[in-house]
A and B are shown apart, each in its own frame.
Chain A
Amino acid sequence: MLAMNFRGPYRVRIDNEKSIPAILHPNDAIVRVLRSCICGSDLHLYHGLVPDTRVGMTFGHEFVGEIVELGSLVNNLKVGDRVIVPFNVSCGKCAFCKQGLYGNCHESNPSATAVGGFLGYSHTAGGYDGGQAEYARVPYADVGPVLIPEWMDLDDAVLLTDIVPTGYQAAEMGGIQKGDTVVVFGAGPVGIMAAKCAWLFGAGRVIVIDHLHYRLDFVRQYAQCEAYDFKELGDPVVFIKKTTDSLGADVCIDAVGCEAAGNNMNTLLGRRLLLQGGSTTALHWAINSVKKGGIVSIVGVYGPIDALVPIGNVVNKGITIRANQASVKRLLPKLIEHVKSGVLNPKEVITHRIPLKEVAAAYHIFSRKLDNCIKPVLIPDNA
């Protein structure tokens, strides 16, 4: 089958080296991929920032597909069903899944206890090949996948596998109360969704900070919020303090993660020398911009090693930090309803629809932010 093949930092190709995956466990399913996205966090793999990302692996944790084969213990799906596949691999039985922490399953990643199992996201996240291919194996298919409603566009469905739930959960973890001022760092797809969802929780003001003007323009229109270029602000922390009666924002969301721009030292240590788990600039700004007693919600992805953050200010300001990988399975019923009612319109963030066989160009376009790229979707020929 055609599948993306990672060859090293900044190098991927499409080839036929892999066979259609087989059922390896009675709770498995095999899906024929209909849509697959490249996620901003795939770029961390592509840029060589995530340890134990092995040459030969197929990435892709955002995909929807049609069931073509089922393991003997999967009774809630049938061949031919079209499903949304959450990026987390979750057993549904462990102490963490039972508490809704589907992103923290304890039975899906032998290689790390800190990280749950994620499809197509390095051996640090379980060693699963992903969905940037014509077919993919989906473990625990009786738990994670959700049927795509008849009325739902595949382009909307594929964004429900990660960026919409991640953005929603970013706002949810902020504990937003009516009238709160919410600052979102990062106008990538997740930041855009976090800004959009902050209103659903009753935010009184939503501010997005980034430096890519085409993304700032997009989020202003899509999420009906304020958006500012940090390069034009000077010090974004001072700007946020000034614009929030000098007290700071009620909630700050880090939707950037390990590849944040804006601080040369962080860029050097985190992105060039890999001496810390990524560039922590956005998190720095979030901690310093939030009010005393405020909440910082982190959904940006960082590497597993140490990272420099102003922890003294966390203590002195009494900040609550909430962070997690999105619990996609938990959120899907609500988010499907929001798409149905028109409150959320995910597919508007898709800027590029690219054939799977052009995956190398797609990665390059997304990585270099060419052609005002916000979200690329890969479409296999057999979709």
Chain B
Amino acid sequence: MTDETSPLEFENNRGVDTSHIKGWGIDADPENDPTYPIKNRTNEEHKGYSWERPPQQPQEVEILKSVERPNITAVFGTSTPPAGLSGMIRRQAYKYSESSLGRWVPLILADRIGVVEGVIDDIGKGIFPNIFKETGWTGEWKYDRQRAMNRIAIAAAITACVVTIIVTRRGVKFNLSFLVPILRKLI
């Protein structure tokens, strides 16, 4: 087979007119290669972990520390300390290094358990989670009403099926005659 292509077919015209682009080339720098993040290398880390550390934040909540560190950092976040079953799993996970699946997979499991604990905690405080609101359905209703209605219809159909199956199996008979006057008023 002969090569029927010509070099011209592959020519890349780099003489692009960029005159209409405000600021074109203002940060161009032939010295920008190698570039950040190793551009300003001073080998500070060769001195070891010996810099003057900032004052230590008092530790008033439980902080889970990476086993790859000798200490807790000078500052840290205090949001949502580990608690409950998810907290127990997190404590175990932090016994593994950041290079181990034993660290990360249990943390994802703990996150999911934390969701259930969150619901239980809410109910314990007398808050019944408003799933519709928390999942942002007002946005869906405003901008994609057709999809919202489809999802409501599907959820209603599934609920109706489940209720029907349960009622049929248990042989429960419901008297729905109390709905008649209500429906008449609505109509």
Give the segment of A201-209, A256-264, A311-319 that binds chain B. Answer: A201-209
Q: A25-B75, A96-B45 are in contact. Are A114 and B21 (CB under 8 A)?
A: no
A95 pairs with B51, CB closer than 8 A: yes
> How near does chain B come to A133, taking the closest CB pair, in angstroms?
11
What is the total number of residues of chain B having a CB less than 8 Å from a CB of chain A? 85
Chain A residues in the interface with B (C-beta under 8 A): 7-13, 24-28, 48, 51-58, 73, 89, 91, 93-96, 98-101, 104, 106-114, 117, 123-124, 126-129, 139-140, 169, 172-179, 181, 197, 199-202, 204-205, 224, 244-247, 274, 295, 303-306, 322, 324, 327, 334, 338, 341-344, 358, 360-365, 367-368, 370-371
Q: Tell me if B's interface is mostly helix, strand, loop or mixed.
A: loop
Contacts of A224 in B (CB 8 A): 20-21
CB distance A360 to B133 under 8 Å?
Answer: yes
B137 within 8 A of A: yes
Q: What is the CA–CA distance of A104 and B27 in the complex, to the nearest angstrom?
A: 24
List of A residues within 8 angstroms of B20 by Cβ: 224
Contacts of A101 in B (CB 8 A): 37
Given A113-B66, A305-B101, decide whether A108 and B35 contact each other with a Cβ distance below 8 A: no
Select the stretch in B106-114, B160-168, B172-180 that faces chain A. Answer: B106-114
CA distance A358 to B10 in the complex (A): 53
- By the criterion CB–CB under 8 Å, are A370 and B143 in contact? yes
Q: Which residues of A contact B4 (CB under 8 A)?
A: none
Known: A110-B73, A358-B138. A201 touches B28 (CB 8 A): yes
In the complex with contacts A51-B104, A127-B78, A304-B114 CB distance below 8 A? no
Instruction: Name 18 interchain pairs, CB-CB below 8 A, sorted by A.
Output: A11-B134, A51-B104, A55-B111, A55-B115, A56-B79, A93-B51, A99-B41, A101-B37, A107-B54, A111-B65, A177-B33, A199-B24, A201-B27, A358-B138, A360-B134, A365-B143, A368-B140, A371-B143
Closest 8 CB pairs of A and B: A364-B136, A127-B77, A128-B77, A8-B115, A343-B23, A175-B33, A202-B28, A361-B139
B contact set with A: CB distance below 8 Å: 10-12, 14, 16, 18, 20-30, 32-37, 39-42, 44-45, 47, 49, 51-55, 57-58, 63-66, 68-69, 72-80, 86, 90, 94, 98, 101, 104-105, 107-108, 110-112, 114-115, 117-119, 122, 129-131, 133-140, 142-144
Q: How far is the CA of A202 from the CA of B138 in the complex (A)?
A: 45
Q: Which of A57, A200, A343 contacts B80 (CB 8 A)?
A: A57
Do the beta carbons of A176 and B32 come within 8 Å of each other?
yes
Contact status of A200 and B16, CB under 8 A, knowing A24-B58, A127-B79: no
- Contact partner, B44, options A51, A99, A107, A204, Cβ 8 Å: A99
- Minimum C-beta distance from A221 to chain B (A): 12
Q: Given the complex, which residues of B lie within 8 Å of A112, measured CB to CB? A: 66, 68, 98
A-chain residues with CB within 8 Å of residue B143 when the two chains form the complex: 365, 370-371
Instruction: Give the complex CA separation of A1 and B86 in angstroms.
Output: 27
* B74 x A178 contact (CB < 8 A): no
Hey, which chain B residues are within 8 Å of A244, CB to CB?
Answer: 12
Question: Shortest distance in angstroms between B67's beta carbon and chain A's nearest beta carbon?
Answer: 9
Cα distance A312–B68 in the bound complex, in angstroms: 29
Q: Could you tell me if A11 and B135 are in contact, using CB atoms closer than 8 angstroms?
A: yes
User: In angstroms, how far is the closest chain A Cβ from the Cβ of B157?
Assistant: 22
Contact A13 B134 (CB under 8 A): yes
- Kindly provide the distance from the CB of B83 to the nearest chain A CB, expressed in whole angstroms: 9
Q: Which residues from B are CB-within-8-Å of A113? A: 66, 68-69, 98
State the CA gap A139–B73 with chains docked (Å). 12
- Given known A11-B134, A26-B55, A53-B111, contact A107–B30 (CB-CB < 8 A): no
A139 to B75, Cβ gap below 8 A?
yes
Contact B36 A172 (CB under 8 A): yes
Chain B min CB distance to A42 (Å): 13
Which residues in B have their C-beta under 8 angstroms from that of A110? 63-66, 69, 72-73, 76
In angstroms, Cα B127 to Cα A13, docked, is: 12
Docked-complex contact A368 and B144, CB < 8 angstroms = yes
A46 to chain B, nearest CB (A): 10
Q: How far is the CA of A201 from the CA of B29 in the complex (A)?
A: 7
Instruction: Write out the residue numbers on chain B whose beta carbons fall within 8 Å of the beta carbon of A358.
Output: 138
